[in-house]
Amino acid sequence: MRPLEIAHLAKSFGGLQVLQDVCLALEPGERRALIGPNGAGKTTLFNVISGVLAPSAGSIRLFGRDAAGLPVHRRSLLGLGRTYQVTNLFADLTVFENLLLGVQAVEPSRFAVHRPARTYRHLVARAEALLRDWGLWDARDALVRELSYGVQRQVEIVLALARGPRLLLLDEPMAGLSPGERVTVSGMIRRLDGAIALLLIEHDMDVAFEVAGTITVLHEGEVLAEGEAAAIKGDARVREIYLGAEGMFRKGG
Amino acid sequence: MRRLGTAALGAAALLGLAVAPRLLSSYYVGLLTQVLIYAIFAMSLDLLLGYTGLPSLGHAAYFGAAAYTLGLLAQRAGVGFWSALPWAVGAAAAAGALFALLAIRVRGAYFLMITLALGQVLWGIAFRWRALTGGEDGITGVPRPTLPGGTALSGSAGIHFFALAVFVAVGLALWVLVRSPFGLALRGIRGSETRMEALGYNVWAYKYLVSVIAAIVAGLAGVLFASYTGFVSPADLSIVTSARVLLMVLVGGAGTLAGPALGAGAIVLLESIVSTQVERWMSVLGAVYILVVVLCPGGIVGVFQAARGKGALG
Amino acid sequence: MTFWLIQVFNGISFGMLLFLLASGLSLIFGLMGIVNLAHGSFYILGAYVAVSVVGATGSFLFGAAAGVAAVAAVGSGLHRGLLHRFHGRELAQVLLTFGVLFIVADVTVWIWGGNPLSLPKPAFLEGSLRVGTLMFPTYRLLVVAVGVAVAVALWIFQERTPFGAAVRAGVDDEEMARGVGINTPRLFTAVFALGAGLAALGGVIGGPFVGVFPGADFEILLLAMVVVIIGGLGSLRGAFVASLLVGLLDNLGKTLLPDLALFTVFAPMALILAVRPTGLFGQA
């Protein structure tokens, strides 16, 4: 069963057409990068998939279910996870608390009022495992607000993993990172469970080709090209729309 | 180590409150009783404001709804305290359930304004509908709770202990609540509603539930207050009361349970001193509101937790 | 029939008075996110100042000008000196304005006493205008005229002047407005002062028929808030329509169901909130 199937999706705001006739399907475990110049509609597409925005036309199927009318949190419960280009964490909570929230989200105990959250040992254990697996153990009691930007970007991803998604939308995970930090995060992405399907918005073409097997190129709201990474790299039309955009095809971003 | 120190302080404070009737005159005991009642009221508001990030300027609606229900049932139907209590708290819960439906759909300043308007709805009804509520004159003869034997807690000590008992019970219940998964989710909502939704939380449901819970606790405080003073008036529903309890939360420090309690103490004591000593006490209080905002964003608790404090005002 | 026409007229004139307050309140809220609890204070301060100046000079016009100018100055100082430092922090601003509300309420009692004062109408506006079988008090006609004039002026201001364009830009997206060079702090203070001045004008104009007394600030503030909630934030058109609506509802309520008077205003508000939380003309 495909985690994601988008058919003839369109989205307009008043007179402005942001997405037009977008078709995209992911196989389980597929790693696909979504690339395209600024304003191509990539984040809007994410917002429509996750349910923040309703499409103007077309359909979205998540894990075989028609997502029309499903609110954001229900789509999450189906198995969808997402990260944000602008870090969106719980700044006044510790890293551990952030992850515990993520782990607890799909559990029936999330409405419990009668006992402390920490007494749910199996959930605590899961959060601690995440901390350890992703190198965040030392930071566990630090407030997210106090972390460096690079570590925050790591937590941004790990939080989305907490409830064990089967489809993960990563919105520019490398945004604002130094080259060294990029290596860490791209390593993280490559380490992700092979069963998770990944749709990744990325500006750094090298990272995109490194991490993804397939690429979809979005241009002015439409799918310009789609296919294996190598084929896209050689596609003349793709090169054309990126001409002039700095650092697109140069190593180091 | 710090936890032990705080617990010790808390225990000492409770002990002090318990022996107060032995040591102080009934006037001062009365003041402390008011502190306890307002502490309960303020803690309920902090659930909304400090923990969930919902700034309500109409919280007196629930306080007053319960107070009026108790007063009306007692005065019109001769119902005793204990029989009226579930109805009074129920009225507060109903108001909370209704108002939340309208207010929760918006956020920030808009939520502020709508809760203010809704609170004033009840105030207006109490003020204008003289036939029902006695209007400005209010309702007198609100009964005290009665002990199993049948005697009413008519002295200052009796009602003080009762309020203290309720305060401890409510405090414990809220202490467990804020540490529960539900409580953690509330704090997550305050941090980022969008992320909570994306994680799978039904944010609306949480906001609704906490609104009703906060209304119930505020109603409890309202019942206590009406019983303590023996009197209910539209002022108990007004924006002045809503703003006062909001100030208590912020003075003491939002996002904690001790904060609102400390804030209640500070404001009740300040008001009693100022209103008896200074003729222009209203101006002084207004100045206090302004000074609190300008000088202490983290409240009393924030001063002690300087490392950890993002004030609710910031 | 006559009865109803008079009631409608009274409702409209009261609505125009509300518009003077609601327009400022809505702009201040829409542009700066400030829930200005001191707005009612601006109203009565304008009225009280006018009472004194009219008493001293005998001129209603002087009194009105003095009231408006004094309050605009107070508003300007308040915003620049205090409120603007807490830009974006809504809770802080609410408490600040609440403190101002308390102080103004106390100071006005201190200076002018606790008894209701009268602000006499200018002599030439006493009496009524006869239209057919109906008698319309001339003063109330003036109120309607002033309200409409202000509405038109504000509309022209907002739609046809650079200042108005700046305000619209600021309401839409403050960051962008600053990005294109609009001096938002000065703009904000100017709009706040404008709102305060309009509220004071309302106080002066409303003085003769609503009365000048402690507590008037609360009452009018509440109604103005309801208007803004119903009309929508930052929307002038919303403020105008909602002012008329609330004016009519309040007047009809007071006349027909005095016990439930406020209810006739709040019930529609709750209804509209249930259907459109951001108001009739507010941005969703």
Residue C83 touches chain B, beta carbons under 8 Å: no
Nearest CA distance, C212 vs chain B (angstrom):
20
Nearest CA distance, C18 vs chain B (angstrom):
16
| C106/B280 touch (CB, cutoff 8 Å), yes or no | yes
B273 lies in a domain?
no
Of B179, B194, B199, the CB nearest to A105: B199
pLDDT band at A252 (very low <50, low <70, confident <90, very high): very low
Residue B52 touches chain C, beta carbons under 8 Å: no
CATH number, domain of C109, equals 1.10.3470
Helix-helix angle B258-277:B26-46, to 10 degrees: 140
Residue B308 touches chain C, beta carbons under 8 Å: no
Q: Which two tokens stand for residue A169?
A: 């939308």
Separation CA B198–CA B206 (nearest Å)? 15
Q: Which two tokens stand for residue A44?
A: 């809007």
Separation CA A139–CA C84 (nearest Å)? 37
- By C-alpha distance, which of A48, A86, C284 is closest to B195? A86
**pLDDT tens per residue across span C81-106:** 998 888 878 888 888 999 999 999 99
Partners of residue B106 in chain C, C-beta under 8 Å = 277-278
Q: Please say whether the beta carbons of B63 and B224 come within 8 A.
A: no
In A43-62, the residues whose Cβ lies within 8 Å of chain B are 50, 52
Of C102, C263, C266, the CB nearest to B282: C102
Residue A77 touches chain B, beta carbons under 8 Å: yes
| B191/A143 touch (CB, cutoff 8 Å), yes or no | no
Q: What is the pLDDT of residue A246?
A: 46
Structure-model confidence comparison of residues C182 and C272, the more confident one: C272
Share of chain A above pLDDT 90, in %: 65
| B243/C269 touch (CB, cutoff 8 Å), yes or no | no
Of B180, B182, B201, the CB nearest to A73: B201
Q: What is the pLDDT of residue B311?
A: 43
Residue A23 touches chain B, beta carbons under 8 Å: no
Q: What is the pLDDT of residue A98?
A: 97
Separation CA C279–CA C228 (nearest Å)? 8
Q: Are strands B139-140 and A222-228 parallel, antiparallel or unpaired?
A: unpaired
pLDDT at C45 over 80: yes
pLDDT at B179 over 90: yes
Q: What is the DSSP string of B57-114?
A: S-THHHHHHHHHHHHHHHHHH---HHHHHHHHHHHHHHHHHHHHHHHTTS-HHHHHHH
Domain range enclosing B106: 25-135+150-237
C280 lies in a domain?
no
Q: Is A7 left (phi over 0), alpha (psi -120 to 50) or beta?
A: beta
B9 lies in a domain?
no
Share of chain C above pLDDT 90, in %: 32
pLDDT band at A115 (very low <50, low <70, confident <90, very high): very high
Q: What is the pLDDT of residue C240?
A: 94
Partners of residue B297 in chain A, C-beta under 8 Å = none
Share of chain B above pLDDT 90, in %: 52
Average pLDDT, chain A: 89
Mean pLDDT to the nearest integer, B3-24: 80
Q: Which two tokens stand for residue B12?
A: 């000492």
Tell me the count of A-B CB pairs closer than 8 A. Answer: 98
Residue C222 touches chain B, beta carbons under 8 Å: yes
Give the architecture (CATH level 2) of A1-79+165-253.
3-Layer(aba) Sandwich (3.40)
Q: How many CB atoms lie within 10 A of CB C116?
A: 11
Average pLDDT, chain B: 88
Residue C32 touches chain B, beta carbons under 8 Å: no
| C98/B117 touch (CB, cutoff 8 Å), yes or no | no
C282 lies in a domain?
no
Separation CA C93–CA C28 (nearest Å)? 12
Beta-bridged to residue A22, according to DSSP, are A9
**pLDDT tens per residue across span B93-125:** 999 999 999 899 888 888 888 898 889 888 888
Residue C94 touches chain B, beta carbons under 8 Å: yes
Separation CA A108–CA B248 (nearest Å)? 35
| B200/A109 touch (CB, cutoff 8 Å), yes or no | no
pLDDT band at A247 (very low <50, low <70, confident <90, very high): very low
Q: Nearest residue of B to residue C275 by CA position?
A: B102
Domain boundaries, chain A: 1-79+165-253, 89-163
Of B179, B191, B201, the CB nearest to A116: B179
Residue C163 touches chain B, beta carbons under 8 Å: no
| B182/A111 touch (CB, cutoff 8 Å), yes or no | yes
pLDDT at B16 over 90: no
Q: How far is CA B262 from CA B13, B74, B170, B303, in A?
A: 11, 32, 15, 12
B256 lies in a domain?
no
ipTM of predicted complex: 0.91
**pLDDT tens per residue across span A148-158:** 999 999 999 99
Mean pLDDT to the nearest integer, C174-192: 79
Nearest CA distance, B165 vs chain C (angstrom):
32
Residue A191, helix vs strand vs coil: helix
Partners of residue A95 in chain B, C-beta under 8 Å = none
**pLDDT tens per residue across span A180-216:** 888 889 889 989 988 999 999 987 777 888 888 899 9
Beta-bridged to residue A60, according to DSSP, are A6
- By C-alpha distance, which of B40, B49, B57 is closest to B189? B49
Q: What is the pLDDT of residue B309?
A: 39
pLDDT band at C134 (very low <50, low <70, confident <90, very high): confident
C73-111 burial: b if 16+ Cβ within 10 Å, else e: ebbbebbbebbbebbebbbbbbbbbbbbbbbbbbbbbee
pLDDT band at C283 (very low <50, low <70, confident <90, very high): low
Q: Which two tokens stand for residue B204?
A: 């609306």
Q: What is the pLDDT of residue A251?
A: 45
Domain range enclosing C216: 2-275
Domain count, chain C: 1
Residue B172 touches chain A, beta carbons under 8 Å: no
Residue A114, helix vs strand vs coil: coil
Q: What is the pLDDT of residue C132?
A: 74
Q: What is the pLDDT of residue C90?
A: 81
Average pLDDT, chain C: 85
pLDDT band at B298 (very low <50, low <70, confident <90, very high): low
pLDDT band at B302 (very low <50, low <70, confident <90, very high): low
CA neighbours closer than 13 Å in the CB half-sphere of residue A73: 16
Separation CA B158–CA C143 (nearest Å)? 58
Nearest CA distance, B202 vs chain A (angstrom):
6
Beta-bridged to residue A222, according to DSSP, are A219
Q: Which of B120, B127, B285, B288 is the mutation pick for testing C, counting most C CBs within 10 A?
A: B120
Q: Which of C94, C101, C233 is the mutation pick for testing B, counting most B CBs within 10 A?
A: C94
Backbone angles phi, psi at A134, to 5 degrees: -110, 20
Q: What is the pLDDT of residue A221?
A: 85
pLDDT at B187 over 60: yes
Separation CA C148–CA B295 (nearest Å)? 43
pLDDT at B307 over 50: no
Residue B102 touches chain C, beta carbons under 8 Å: yes
Interface partners of chain A (CB pairs < 8 Å, 3 or more) are B
Of B181, B188, B209, the CB nearest to A109: B181
| A88/B195 touch (CB, cutoff 8 Å), yes or no | yes
C103 lies in a domain?
yes
Partners of residue C270 in chain B, C-beta under 8 Å = 102, 118, 121
| B203/A116 touch (CB, cutoff 8 Å), yes or no | no
Q: Please say whether the beta carbons of A94 and A141 come within 8 A.
A: yes
- Element spanning C51, H or E: helix C39-57
| B176/A113 touch (CB, cutoff 8 Å), yes or no | yes
Interface partners of chain C (CB pairs < 8 Å, 3 or more) are B
Mean pLDDT to the nearest integer, C198-203: 94
pLDDT band at B301 (very low <50, low <70, confident <90, very high): low
Partners of residue B194 in chain A, C-beta under 8 Å = 52, 88
Q: Nearest residue of B to residue C279 by CA position?
A: B110
| A90/B187 touch (CB, cutoff 8 Å), yes or no | yes
Nearest CA distance, A84 vs chain B (angstrom):
9
| A117/B181 touch (CB, cutoff 8 Å), yes or no | yes
Nearest CA distance, C76 vs chain B (angstrom):
17
- Element spanning A81, H or E: strand A80-82
Q: What is the DSSP string of C164-207?
A: HHHHHHHHH-HHHHHHTT--HHHHHHHHHHHHHHHHHHHHHHHH
C205 lies in a domain?
yes
Q: What is the pLDDT of residue B314?
A: 38
**pLDDT tens per residue across span B195-209:** 999 999 999 999 999
Q: Please say whether the beta carbons of A21 and A56 come within 8 A.
A: no
| A101/B184 touch (CB, cutoff 8 Å), yes or no | yes
B163-167, B310-314, C249-253: least confidently modelled range? B310-314
Domain count, chain B: 1
Q: Do chains A and C touch (3 or more CB pairs under 8 A)?
A: no
C283 lies in a domain?
no
pLDDT at B310 over 50: no
Q: What is the pLDDT of residue C157?
A: 83
Q: What is the pLDDT of residue B190?
A: 93
| A118/B179 touch (CB, cutoff 8 Å), yes or no | yes
C281 lies in a domain?
no
pLDDT at C27 over 80: yes
The reported pTM is 0.89
Q: Report chain A's C-alpha Rg in angstroms.
A: 19
Mean pLDDT to the nearest integer, C153-163: 84
| A76/B197 touch (CB, cutoff 8 Å), yes or no | yes
Q: What is the pLDDT of residue A145?
A: 93
pLDDT band at B305 (very low <50, low <70, confident <90, very high): low
Nearest CA distance, C226 vs chain B (angstrom):
7
Most confidently predicted of B130-134, B256-260, C269-273: B256-260
Q: Which residue blocks in B25-59 are alpha helix, DSSP H?
A: 26-46
Most confidently predicted of B247-256, C52-61, C237-246: C237-246
pLDDT at A248 over 60: no
Structure-model confidence comparison of residues B83 and B313, the more confident one: B83
| B109/C277 touch (CB, cutoff 8 Å), yes or no | no
